[in-house]
A = this chain, B = another copy of it.
Amino acid sequence: MEHEFNEKTRGRLLSVSTATLTTIMFKRGFRNCFIGGIQPLNAEHARMAGPAYTLRYIPAREDLDQLKVFEDRSHPQRKGIEECPPGHVMVIDSRKDRSAASAGDILVTRLWKRGAAGIVTDGGFRDSADIAKLPFPAFHAGPSAPTNLIRHHAVDLNVPIGCGDVAVYPGDMVVGDMDGVVVLPRDIADQVAEEAAEQTIFESFVQERVMAGESIFGLYPPSTETREAFRIWRHRTGA
C-alpha cells in the first residue's frame, strides 16, 4: 500500500505555508482540510510534507488493552512504526482525545530513524520534552503522559480515518508548519502545490511592498498595475 510521490511536489510543499494551501484548496471548493488545534513539538522542525500512512485507534477496553499486547508484533501501533514507508507521514486518529498518549519518544525516535517525514496525532504524545529535541516534525494537541492502553486501542493501519475532524485517506499529502497541518487529496496534490508555489512568490512581492509602506488596496488582491509591477519584480529578482 505504498504510494509514489512527486519529489518536486514535496519540495514545493516544504516551501509554502499551510495558510496559502488552504486558500488554494478553498478556490477548488475544499473548506475542511485543515487540522487545527495541534502544533509541532519542535518549532525548528515544523515544516513537513509527505503522503499519509494512517493508524486508527478506537477506545480501549479493559480486558483487551493490557501491557502484554505490545509483545505481539502484529499490534498495529508497533507494526505501523516499523512499516510506515520512508518519506511518509504517520497520521493517527486518536478521536481528539489526549487523555492518554498516542505514542512516546521511543516509538517516535524509531519512526524518525526509519526515514518517515513526520507524525501527526489529534491526541497527545508522552515524553514530549524528548520528542521536542528530535529534528523531526511531530504534531499533537498537547502532552499526555498516560500509556495509550488506558484510552486507545490500535485497530487498523492505512485505512481512511478522521484526524482533527478532517478526512485523511492513505496517500493524501500531509503538510505542516507552525499553524498546523493541511491534508491534500492525492490526486490534486501536484496541482495544488504548483499553484501554491506561484501564490507564495506573489505574496513575497506583496509582503515586500507592505514592508515598504504600501497600502493593501490595489496590492492585495492586485490591480492591473500591481500585476504588471509583479511581472517586472519577478523578472528582476528571478523569483
Contact check, B58 vs A162: say whether CB atoms are below 8 A apart: yes
Of the candidates B64, B106, B180, which one forms a contact with A203 in the assembled complex, judged by CB atoms under 8 Å apart?
B106
Q: What is the 8 Å Cβ interface bit string for chain A, positions 28-46, against chain B (1 contact, 0 not)?
A: 0111101011010001001
- Stretch binding the partner chain, chosen from A6-14, A215-223, A230-238: A215-223
Of the candidates B82, B107, B109, B128, which one forms a contact with A179 in the assembled complex, judged by CB atoms under 8 Å apart?
B128
Contact check, A210 vs B145: say whether CB atoms are below 8 A apart: no
Contacts A128-B179, A216-B106, A221-B70; A161 near B26 (Cβ below 8 A): no
User: For residue A129, which residue of chain B has the nearest CB?
Assistant: B178
A162-190: which residues lie under 8 A (CB-CB) from chain B? 162, 165-167, 177-180, 182, 185
- A213 to B109 alpha-carbon distance, docked (Å): 9
Contact check, A63 vs B30: say whether CB atoms are below 8 A apart: yes
Contact check, B128 vs A178: say whether CB atoms are below 8 A apart: yes
Contact check, A146 vs B216: say whether CB atoms are below 8 A apart: no
Size category, A interface? 35 or more
Q: Which residues of B contact A109 (CB under 8 A)?
A: 207, 210-211
Contact check, A165 vs B97: say whether CB atoms are below 8 A apart: yes
Q: Which residues of B contact A62 (CB under 8 A)?
A: 29-32
Of the candidates B18, B101, B161, which one forms a contact with A58 in the assembled complex, judged by CB atoms under 8 Å apart?
B161
Contact check, B78 vs A59: say whether CB atoms are below 8 A apart: no
The contact sample of 27 A-B pairs, CB cut-off 8 A, is A18-B145, A19-B104, A21-B145, A22-B146, A22-B147, A23-B147, A31-B31, A31-B146, A32-B60, A34-B144, A36-B99, A36-B142, A39-B142, A46-B129, A58-B167, A61-B167, A70-B221, A71-B221, A81-B216, A82-B216, A95-B165, A106-B220, A113-B211, A129-B177, A132-B178, A143-B178, A153-B160
